[in-house]
Amino acid sequence: MKPLKEMTVLVTGGSRGIGAAIARRFAAESMNVVIHYMQSHEAANETARSCMRMGATNVMTVAADMRSKEQLLRMREKLEAAGMVPDILVNNAGIAHYGMLADVTEHEWDDVMAVNLKGMFLSTQMFMPSMIAQRYGRIINVSSIWGMSGASCEVLYSTTKGGMNAFTKALAKELAPSGVTVNAVAPGAVETVMLDNLDAGEKEALESEIPLGRFAQPEEIASLVYFLSLPESSYITGQIISPNGGWLT
């Protein structure tokens, strides 16, 4: 097994929010960091610059639509050519959807499913063979508390995250003999742009439901993801870990 500082992490959806915080956390350990994005080119570049300032050995940004196998294959080719095939894959890319199930269109259903579930499946399938070959790897899926408890008016989003949790548990059993662990981090409410649809009163009401009395910071989620990537975490696999401030126990 190569030293941690020589390993490469790929963070999908790494241009902003939780993904950017995860990229910076690995950069702080002088690792090789790949930041995937779909359209947020400048945000990805800014995250890359911050990763370099924090001490990353190498940083690379790559664009791909998680719904497209062809684009993801081209992304893998670029990483292979650059010697940046990931030892650690963080499946963070995803989109939210808010609305009554009765109002969800077939197109909306297919689109959210394609990004949140199909994209995770494709990226995992593409990068796990190299992990199996070297008998070491970490796959960490960023899920949601709603994948565990469900949320009214977020049936579609909750369904994708529940599927991600099931994927995590099943794949962990499949890859365990190869020394590859698979876990999911399922945050509660996190202070990111995904909460921008709430006004001040709604945010205050939501915070009052959380025993710790506040939202999580992206850096707190990133720390858990980093911990699960460590060689010392080799006995943790198939787990859905939810940092939610006591909101769901």
Q: Is 246 inside a domain boundary? A: no
The model's pLDDT over 65-83, given as tens digits with 9 standing for 90+, comes to: 999 999 999 999 999 999 9
Average pLDDT over residues 173-191: 97
The span from the CA of 119 to the CA of 123, in Å, is 6
pLDDT of 224: 98
The span from the CA of 21 to the CA of 27, in Å, is 10
Average pLDDT over residues 185-211: 89
Q: Is 215 inside a domain boundary? A: yes
pLDDT band at 32 (very low <50, low <70, confident <90, very high): very high
pLDDT of 19: 97
The CATH number covering residue 84 comes to 3.40.50.720
- Answer for the pair 39, 67: CB distance below 8 angstroms, yes or no: no
Number of domain units in the chain:
1
Structural domain range at position 127: 4-241
pLDDT band at 196 (very low <50, low <70, confident <90, very high): confident
Q: What DSSP line would sit under 34-47, residue for residue?
A: EEEESS-HHHHHHH
- Residues taking part in catalysis: 157
Q: Is 249 inside a domain boundary? A: no
| HSE-up of residue 64 (Cα within 13 Å, Cβ side) | 29
Helical H runs in 135-249?
A: 146-149, 155-175, 200-209, 218-229
pLDDT of 192: 87
The radius of gyration computed from the CA coordinates of the chain, to the nearest angstrom, equals: 17
Whether 197 shows a pLDDT value over 90: the answer reads: no
Q: Is 133 inside a domain boundary? A: yes
pLDDT of 195: 77
Q: Is 65 inside a domain boundary? A: yes
The span from the CA of 158 to the CA of 35, in Å, is 25
Average pLDDT over residues 160-166: 98
pLDDT of 249: 86
The span from the CA of 182 to the CA of 197, in Å, is 32
pLDDT band at 219 (very low <50, low <70, confident <90, very high): very high
| Sequence letter at residue 174 | E
Average pLDDT over residues 207-228: 96
Q: What share of the chain in percent tops pLDDT 90?
A: 91
The span from the CA of 162 to the CA of 104, in Å, is 18
